[in-house]
Chain A
Amino acid sequence: MIKLLMGNEAIALGAIKSGVRVVSGYPGTPSTEILETVAKNNDGSIYVEWSVNEKTAMEVAAGAAYSGARTMVTMKQVGLNVASDPLMSLAYIGVKGGMVIVVADDPGPLSSQTEQDTRHFAKFSNLPVLDPSTPEEAYEMVQAAFELSEQVGLPVFLRPTTRICHACSSIDISDSREEHIPSGFEKDSRWVIFPQLSYRRHIEIEKIQVALSLIFSKSPFNTVSGKGSLGIAGSGIAWSYAQDVINDLGLNVKTFKVGTPYPFPVKLAESFLEGLDRVLVLEELDPVVEEALLEIAGSKGLRISISGKKNGATPYAGEFSYELVHKAISDFAALPGADINEPAIPPLPSRPPVLCAGCPHRASFYAVKKAMKGQKAVFTGDIGCYTLGNAKPLNMVDTCLCMGASVSVAQGIKRVEPDTRLFAFIGDSTFFHTGIPGVINAVYNQTDIVLVVLDNSTTAMTGHQPHPGTAKTMMGNVSEKIDIEGLLRSIGVKWVQKINPFDQKAAITAVKEASNVKGVSAIIFEAPCIALVKKPEPLRVDSHICRACGLCIREIGCPSMILKEDGKVQIEPSTCYACGLCSSICPFGAIGGMNHEG
């Protein structure tokens, strides 16, 4: 049956077809839909969980794979940093059931902290990696990855990038499903990592690398075609652009499509390099394929000029495009560049992403801002929708580093600036992910910080996944809700208050009080993400009362508020959630419910 599938959906359906039994992960753009699609298409025989973080997810998957089940773990590239501890050891221990580690990279980056390249992690951990160039190839690769994992007894990486994850293709999918009954966990010393075992395994692993390189030289995911003295090698989405450009230019070149960047298919690469004078390598992020080719050319003493990132032919940073690849190939083949006739356009306003109209985070930030007006305060932020609190006019995020860092970075600043009040903002899902150890650290070391938990009862940024504080799991059953307040009290935070941020008066009072507490104090701002509630009737501005002072817009920058030509304010009814924050700011009482005159 032919279906239009997103790369992430294709990966999920490929895994189901391969008989996957356990799937774990932590949400992160662009990887999130993989696990969600498995859950949506689960016939009941697959265990699917959102884990509390990527390290946990990796370990859950490892345990299942020890027990002979085909397992998959999903995350984004920075999630792999969190999971790198189990990853590195797992490469030594190995697996029994096939284990696929799907890590989505994000060249650009479009929604990530870094442009790190997971292919390095594959090389670092000595684990094979498959790098799809289209969603349909991702569908094939995930199935091959399970086979390969069982063949060599190691986890296998599948590393799609954003343009694969979030692109759709019409794919011919099969409803059939392989049956893989787990053999169960068998007690054996091979599961217990010890220095002696690690040494022995290290010798084995290096042998497997050589074997894998040979296997990959015959893999259908790596192909050499065409002839001539010019060669173009590519991987991932860059290879897809390259194919389109080569076709459009009608170019006759020898090509090398690399679907398995590590271990590198050396034998096949040698047949590609044979007879070439010059090579252009096209790959996003780091020069992994380029370095592999340079190494082969060097060790074989070949006189070939290899172009790529190292000679500036293509950039390291940012994602590739058809246009970028077109220029790189045209330059390489000494063809004239394309004449692009760009239409003249007037200056356009920028449109950065913003907190939604009615978002409770806006009210939380505003309350803290009001309460700390005129005080020396630093606001450390974290990863989630609330990172957008950095934008004008709120300006309430002074730092953002990685998941959970708000809590610990605040402590470091406090130790250098004892006179400054430190507020650490963290969302509910991020708090459970890696926020808790930082709070324990502050309590233990008696550091004065105010922890502000922005609890909107969901993992909002990635599309509303459940977490330990929501009493729901990915399997849908109700679990024991983990109470953030109770947890904070149990680890020694004595001053904790739960407040609805839209009650601005109470919120401001609480913030002031919390900022004077010795040690760690905590405010939990509780209000659900607006995407989870039914949209109420919008508010309206009474234009007879509005004095066109613009204070409401200047203070909170709500996207539903529009400045009319006469300087008065109007509320866009289709997006207003009637949160009332603007109405609490208006000094003239011009903003109210639907009965208010428009």
Chain B
Amino acid sequence: MKADILIAGVGGQGQILASRLIGAAAILEGYTVRTGETIGMSQRGGSVVSHVRIGGESKSATIPFGQADLMIGFELCETVRNIKRLSENGRLIVNTQRINPVTVSLGMDEYDTNAMEDALKKTTSNLIMLDGYSLAHQAGSFKAVNVVLLGAAVGAGYLPLSRDSFIKAIEEIMPQRFHNLNYAAFDSGHDLAGRIIAKNTE
């Protein structure tokens, strides 16, 4: 199995932890993994992108344009910003949460939600949009939005790694006091995406 997964969002949303969880789950299933991301300046509310490459022979962690099998967008605008890396009709999970950059609040730039959603719909039909922020909040913390989205990717059948591997990866990587919260977050995304896919194929 070979899968290139791109995660795009805003610094502070837990993308890097998400990429580590995918990496740990993939290693548990016996795959080689490469990940790459921009940390540093970008963390402070800037755009953050993580590349995760499972299996395959590539020597570099960066996924070339048009080659990501799956993209997990943690924020709408950042998803659109990086959509050029998604493969033709690739799989896309999008958290509909909108995080306004300061440039928008100051009136320097515009955030056109409808145009962005339309652009994503035109790019791929393998698209699931969900409100990860609310699901995370219901699971116990808005911070768990990253794990909600991973759950959604697995539940939709977009990420070919098992739920069990992710449960083990959470155990391995995260402090114990956060385990139950994150199991709940994973399952809420998993179940919702599963239902959406089932409905779409009806």
Q: Which of B40, B100, B118, B122 has the most CB of A within 10 A?
A: B40
Q: How far is the CA of A326 from the CA of B65 in the complex (A)?
A: 11
**A134 on the B face (CB < 8 A):** yes
In angstroms, how far is the closest chain B Cβ from the Cβ of A110? 6
Q: How far is the CA of A553 from the CA of B59 in the complex (A)?
A: 45
Bin the interface of chain A by size: 35 or more
A134 B59 Cβ-Cβ under 8 A: yes
Residues of B within 8 A of A388 (CB): 44
Tally the A-B contacts, defined by beta carbons under 8 Å.
176
Interface segment among A15-23, A85-93, A345-353: the answer is A345-353
Q: How far is the CA of A346 from the CA of B23 in the complex (A)?
A: 32
Interface segment among A282-290, A427-435, A556-564: the answer is A556-564
Residues of A within 8 A of B35 (CB): 4, 167-168
The interface bits of chain B over 76-117 (1 if a CB of A lies within 8 angstroms of the residue's CB, else 0) are 011011011010100000000001111111111111100110
B20 A392 Cβ-Cβ under 8 A: no
**B57 on the A face (CB < 8 A):** yes
Interface segment among B26-34, B151-159, B179-187, B194-202: the answer is B26-34
Write the chain B residue with the least CB distance to A133: B59
In angstroms, how far is the closest chain B Cβ from the Cβ of A323? 6
Residues of B within 8 A of A562 (CB): 100, 105
A351 B33 Cβ-Cβ under 8 A: no
Q: How far is the CA of A353 from the CA of B45 in the complex (A)?
A: 5
Q: Which of B39, B116, B119 has the most CB of A within 10 A?
A: B39
Residues of B within 8 A of A346 (CB): 80, 112, 115-116, 118-119
**A29 on the B face (CB < 8 A):** yes
Question: Which of B44, B57, B119 sits near A353, CB closer than 8 Å?
Answer: B44
**B61 on the A face (CB < 8 A):** yes
B101 A350 Cβ-Cβ under 8 A: yes
**B62 on the A face (CB < 8 A):** yes
The interface bits of chain B over 34-50 (1 if a CB of A lies within 8 angstroms of the residue's CB, else 0) are 11111111111111000
Write the chain A residue with the least CB distance to B117: A346
Mind listing 24 A-B residue pairs with CB under 8 Å? A163-B36, A166-B39, A167-B61, A170-B32, A170-B34, A241-B60, A326-B64, A341-B88, A343-B123, A344-B119, A346-B80, A346-B112, A346-B116, A347-B112, A348-B81, A349-B110, A350-B101, A353-B46, A354-B102, A553-B106, A557-B105, A557-B106, A559-B105, A574-B142
Chain A residues within 8 Å of B, Cβ to Cβ: 2-4, 29-30, 110-111, 133-134, 162-163, 166-170, 237, 239-241, 243-244, 247, 321-323, 326, 340-356, 385, 388, 391-393, 462, 553-554, 557-559, 561-563, 572, 574-575
Q: Which 4 pairs of residues, A with B, have the shortest CB-CB distance? A: A349-B109, A353-B46, A111-B40, A240-B59
